[in-house]
Structure 1
Amino acid sequence: MQRIFKEKMGAMDRMERKPADPGRLDSGASVFARLMLVVSVIAGLAHLGFIGLFLRVQVPALALANVASVLVYVLTAILIRRGRLTLATLLIVLEVLLHGVVATAIIGWAAGFHHYLLLVIPVVIVSAYYRYSLRFILACAVALLYLGLDLVYREATPAVAVPAPLIDGLHYINLATVLLMLGVLATVYQRLVSRAEQSLHELACTDPLTQLRNRRFMMEVAQHEAAVVERGGRPLSLLLGDIDHFKRINDQHGHAVGDGALRAIAQVLRDGVREVDHVARWGGEEFLVLLPGTELDEAQQVADRLRRAVLALVEVEGRRQLGLSITLGLAELRPGESIEQALMRADRALYEGKQAGRNRVVLAGQA
């Protein structure tokens, strides 16, 4: 029996090592897409403000350029929403580079429009669509462009003469805007990464079919609860359940119905216990329920209630009278006993229940 239990544990380990569905991951690409959407909104609003500013300082060419920039950022926001992130990123980078170079050439270095080129470097580096070597080359190219503008235009005479007070005002407005955008981008990126990490952690702990906790996470919870018992705290009971004749359900009705049966029974188990209890898909058609603070007599009542609730399931995936039932092995963790030993006793009781005819609750022996 111990050998059978170890074989099951090994099989479930292999199941847990299967790669997660990549479509469900909150990937770096999706984080970058949200970041670019924020960039589009902030940049569009900034250029909207510059339209009036350049009209005031009588530089209609740059006012018209900012109208074009606003339209570009409206387009990039639409492209991002439609999943065209590569094209949107390219348009953003080109707009920033072109606008920075043109504005610097027209009204001079002192106005500070070259600072916006610095925003391109972090955007290129965090891009999820290019190899790191290419991102590094692009970032270096932007840095060299920035240095080139400094070399050419720092001492050059502007093409359009703008009063010194207005140049000073533009300088500090641009510098403050760039610093603000860098701060906002860093904050948004940090929040998005934290959210992605939380999502990945949740996926790593959850069985994708039943949305119950998976075996790996459940073992961590069980170890914690066992430590509470060891310290002389509340008792802990374990229910190890296995759906009866599950292979027959798959063979006769198809795997879609079998998956539906797993989901339906998972919901019954979830609804049939307290919030402080823990339910997990233990592997295949097996489920594990941890009942903290529950002694054996009370746990037996819970187990029988769950067994009857599964038996009462009438319809699954549009199929009626599937004859679903579950056999449960029950054990209470004893002082000085490891959680693995208690699970082995529950598994042995489950096996005895299967041999005795299924659809029953069997208490684990004390040996």
Structure 2
Amino acid sequence: MAIPLALVSAAATARAAAAPPDAESTEVNTFCQCCQVACHRFRPAKSCSFCHALVCQFCSCGNEPHVLCKSCQPQVRGAQPAFSFRQLLWRFKMLPFGCHGEKWLFLVRKRQSLVVPTDLSGDEYQWLVHQLPRQRRLQGAHLEQKKTLDRDIDRTFQQLQARMANNKRPNFLVKSQYSSSEFMTWKSSTHQLLSVFMTLQPQIGYCQGMTSVAAVLVQESKMNSEIAFRLFLALTEKYRLDDVYRPDMKDVNLRYFQLDEALRLHLPRLHAHLSDRDIHPSTYASCWILTLFTECRLFPHRYVIAFLDLFFEFGWKVFFQTCLAIFSSIEAPLLRRSTSEDIFAFLSKVTWFHRNKSDNDLERFFATARAFNISSSFLDVLQGEYSTEASMSMNEYD
């Protein structure tokens, strides 16, 4: 794939300038920074007007001074955004991110060794958007999912609107209030994202919990639904949320098992206290797993963003580390409660536990979370154990 290397173009230009003017036609002046083939009189080098990389005539389009290399052509940038010059500047911290969505997309590509998280180009996404009006004649399960999506979108944004109106410092919004038109744009962009996802992935469809995740992605992408959609696809394809959202929700029970084992290993006293009272992750953690804490009932907005920063970079181990940090911060009051009713009542009030914390508290909380020794290999081992136990249970049932 073509990777613009503008940072070395100055050296390449110097080498080209050093060549004698009366050189032979086949003399090598420089190398194309896209195909790495030598440039000469019959394969002249051109300078990209966008990233200033030196490329050959076969790896560029346009004439001077409007030459574009392969990496900077709009149609290529849509299909291979990981190799844009902007990404190169992000990598060397020479350009700030315009929004959290750009940062998360960069972390996804960095985590996947710069592999594009989806083969869907920008033009294909817009084509899917234009196809949505033709999807109105839905039948069966798809029609029910569409109705559920409409209800969840309305309920989620009604709750957000009420929360913004009732709080002096909104928990879901960071810098300022949204106007009515901006709020409706946010809502419609979220609905559009999930509708396109249902069209593209009918085997997954819609699941409750998607709305909160998609709303945060759209908001933190500055209402750029294409960036948000790429992030949502990355979550389902690369971070295995697809098996959480499928109709059978097969990975939800796996996450319950992994969380229970993490509690048993790192907080054994609390784990025994909860297990003796039949309080297991399935009774309190389903919302955490389905929404990745984005529902903002447990954390204020800045905690959600900090969590997603870590999740996009390190994956599911950050989720379990965060769960352990939550329980370690409330372990003492939980141990003082002797009945399951009291424990459930307390857990329902934990939603406001970190509501008025400062930025120092935020850093301290996630430092505590990252201190728990949860590795991806540990989660893989637990997944193997869970699969073995599930297979044995199925065999016994048969």
Instruction: Specify the TM-score bucket, using the shorter chain as the normaliser.
Output: under 0.3
The structure with the larger Rg is: 1
By relative contact order (CA 8 Å, sep 6+), the higher-ranking structure is: 1
Higher relative strand content? 1
Q: TM-score, normalised by structure 2?
A: 0.22
Q: TM-score, normalised by structure 1?
A: 0.24
